[in-house]
Chain A
């Protein structure tokens, strides 16, 4: 469904990622793992069309142009960005309505918003509240719900568990599992490697801008060297904070 060949991204003179190859097949959950500053967010943003890049990204036999977020969304790629990307000065309902901004089937889209409220009663309860007043977990829920309203084929999630309590993390992960069983293909960017490998199909591990290992989730989870070097977490100092 998605094929990346030789992807490179630079921020000015800094090369963030280079020579990345990555494939995602229909219906999979693919995890993208790596420590702080490894380049996970960069790859997710390049796929979503927020960055200029070198190399080639193709999605469903269509070559994606760099920096073409609107087009990529309409092609079926939706990114829940790092930090959730909630529109804080809008209400919960307005955030969801922004999710259907790109839809042309107005009536069905409006019905989908109603269905989201049925599916997540907590959002319905808070529909007229400013999104900034939601808890972190509720905001993540809102961000994922909003992304789903654009009817993506491929959903990119950038560290959805960031800053969440363990219980909320479990909930968000189970929600991601549900989305997959509904037929969505998912790329999950995470640092919580062990937990992620439990329900991902395949995973890629990044280190300082290069892809170092890839394989099925069970292979990676069983690979002692991998767990030592990359999955322990907290062994590398954070390069940056966002």
Chain B
């Protein structure tokens, strides 16, 4: 049933979009791939799980996932990025890789390496819309994503802090001349990025009704692919690429078999890198200035 698959694909794509935006904020401002984001996402999922199974409401779960991941992200910035900010770009990236492995290790020790399942009582009903049936939780995933993207877009495009973020991303020296503190903006970027990753983690836990310590690696890598496909220099490219990859993946599984789905997603990413490195939404190759 094609329509049904599209709905499922968009739900999955919503999570990819949030996580890709999370990668994109740090990438856009600092030029580094913060590999720990994948595990902040996973930790966010566990935090959300804990809140839901404690019979608190979903918004509380999302807020808890966001706050927890943002706090850990701030710690990573202070310990793993700030001291290395003048080192070559690969150095802080390796440090975030270290953090991601530590976080995964903490999660396996705290929650075990077997998946946790969300008990049936929390699953919610399904709503039939003609031939398509949408889970209540699916609607929540999509709804929360839309709200968070709108809030993010407002902050980045319309507030003084958002302008400062963009100024640092475009030209750090000019931003300093205008009074923007590079280190404060960096911390802000890490925390915003962490909050989005945490929210995405809660949403994926709801979507799959399960969570494992390895979800970060699996979904995190896909979100990086989504960011690349959307265009690493155009953070909003993820809004298009996320649902697109979500749908492509779901359709591949439905009609081609699950053994080839990663082939499709990463094949698409490699094709973009080869033939359209600025991404789907990126401008012409010529305007690809340095991002940082």
Contact = CB atoms under 8 A, between A and B. Distances in A.
A102 B184 CA distance: 14
A37 interface: no
B177 A90 contact: no
A85 interface: yes
B163 A98 contact: yes
A97 B179 contact: no
Contacts of A73: 177-179
A87 B171 contact: yes
B178 A89 contact: no
B177 A79 contact: yes
A90 B176 contact: no
Nearest to A89: B170
A39 interface: no
A101 B167 CA distance: 11
Contacts of B166: 87, 89-90
* Residue with the greatest number of chain B CB neighbours at <10 A, chosen from A70, A78, A79, A97: A70
A50 to B, nearest CB: 6
Interface size bracket, A side: 20 to 34
A87 B177 CA distance: 12
A49 B164 CA distance: 19
* Residue with the greatest number of chain A CB neighbours at <10 A, chosen from B177, B179, B180, B181: B177
B170 A85 contact: no
Contacts of A101: 160, 163-164, 167, 178-180
A79 B175 CA distance: 12
B173 interface: yes
B160 A97 contact: yes
B264 interface: no
Contact of B174 (A81, A94, A150): A81
A87 B176 CA distance: 12
Interface string A226-241: 0000000000000000
B27 to A, nearest CB: 15
Contact of B178 (A49, A50, A88, A98): A98
Nearest to A67: B176
Interface size bracket, B side: 10 to 19
A69 interface: yes
A87 B160 contact: no
A89 B162 CA distance: 13
* Residue with the greatest number of chain A CB neighbours at <10 A, chosen from B179, B180, B181: B179
Contacts of A87: 166-167, 170-171, 174
A70 B160 contact: no
B88 to A, nearest CB: 16
B216 to A, nearest CB: 31
A74 B181 CA distance: 12
A128 B160 CA distance: 16
B179 A90 contact: no
Contacts of B181: 70
B173 A50 contact: yes
A160 interface: no
Nearest 9 A/B pairs, CB to CB: A102-B179, A69-B176, A85-B174, A73-B179, A98-B178, A70-B179, A101-B178, A101-B179, A87-B170
Interface of B: 160, 163-164, 166-167, 170-171, 173-181, 289
29 contacts: A50-B173, A50-B176, A50-B177, A69-B179, A70-B180, A70-B181, A73-B179, A74-B179, A79-B177, A85-B171, A85-B174, A85-B177, A87-B167, A87-B174, A88-B170, A89-B170, A90-B163, A90-B170, A94-B163, A98-B167, A98-B178, A101-B163, A101-B167, A101-B179, A101-B180, A102-B178, A102-B179, A146-B178, A150-B178
